[in-house]
Amino acid sequence: MANIIAGYNPLQEQYEESRKKSIKWGILSFLSFISLSILGPVAFLFILVSFFKLGKHAARYKPLKAAISGEKYVEKVCSSLPDTYSVLSNVELFSEGQTMYLDQVIVGPGGVFLLEVKNMNGFIEGNADNAQLTQHKTGRKGGKYSKRIRNPLKPLGGQVYHLSNFLKYYNTNVWVNGLLYFSNPDAQAAIHGSNFPVFTFSDGAPALRNFIIKNEQHTSLSQTEINRVVTLLTGKTT
């Protein structure tokens, strides 16, 4: 079993804040409703405000919960790697004057892998070079619709660049492999011309795990190199 090292997750903090506010405004909405007969128009006005606030925070709460669930699922998948691997979750990286959070960085004999996790659903298609992809979805009532979404391969490429430069700055010249994983069970993807492998939930956990292990045929990091990368990214020795 791989060594799991979890870092600070800003999504978790945002999720907890939205959850607490949703609960608070849900309670206030209920109290306003039962006091309607006593306070009259005042209570009715407060009901409207409470429902508006409840809807606002619930709209943020649900996608955050889905994103966190997706990251935890992928972390569970990666934990099944051999114990020669370390899986770093929510890595905070400071590079070229900016701070960024990397979903998952996997370090082991097969190399360094930067895994970007997306919880999008539907059929996602397009060209890897384009700034946007097309997401086809089916609504709750069976209606089909499509919309343009930001191409997640673009920021992934930037993160790979920054992680590579960060390691080189500390005299650690290792190749960083970018990976994109759609964790939603209802996601399918057809992205053409990508330099980074793209995986979906339907590919199954073995596909991602086997890809990483198979890379040992081309790359072989020593235990010293593995330990150095992990220490640089976490400040913790292995």
Count of alpha carbons within 13 angstroms of residue 105, beta-carbon side: 28
Q: How far is CA 82 from CA 77, 85, 106, 129, 196, in A?
A: 12, 6, 11, 34, 23
One digit per residue, pLDDT tens: the chain, 238 residues? 888 887 666 666 666 676 777 777 677 666 666 666 565 566 566 666 666 666 665 666 566 666 667 777 777 878 889 999 999 988 999 888 888 889 899 999 999 999 998 988 899 999 999 999 999 998 777 788 899 999 999 999 999 999 999 999 999 999 999 999 998 888 999 999 999 999 998 887 788 889 999 988 888 899 999 999 999 999 754 4
Q: What is the pLDDT of residue 56?
A: 67
Distance CA 180, CA 178 (A): 7
Query: At which residue do the structure tokens 């609960």 appear?
Result: 23
Helical segments of the chain, H only: 10-34, 36-39, 41-78, 153-169, 205-214, 223-234
Three-class secondary structure of residue 81 per DSSP: coil
Q: What is the pLDDT of residue 25?
A: 60
Q: What is the pLDDT of residue 94?
A: 87
In this structure, the chain runs to a length of 238
**Domain ranges in the chain?**
3-234
Q: Which two tokens stand for residue 58?
A: 């619930």
Topology of the domain covering 3-234 = Trna Endonuclease; Chain: A, domain 1 (3.40.1350)
Q: What is the pLDDT of residue 79?
A: 84
Say if CB 87 and CB 3 are below 8 A apart: yes
Q: What is the pLDDT of residue 188?
A: 94
Task: Please give the model's pTM, rounded to 2 decimal places.
Answer: 0.77
Distance CA 82, CA 222 (A): 15
* 191: nearest Cα among 117, 147, 132: 132
Distance CA 190, CA 236 (A): 38
Distance CA 177, CA 8 (A): 23
Q: What is the pLDDT of residue 218?
A: 83
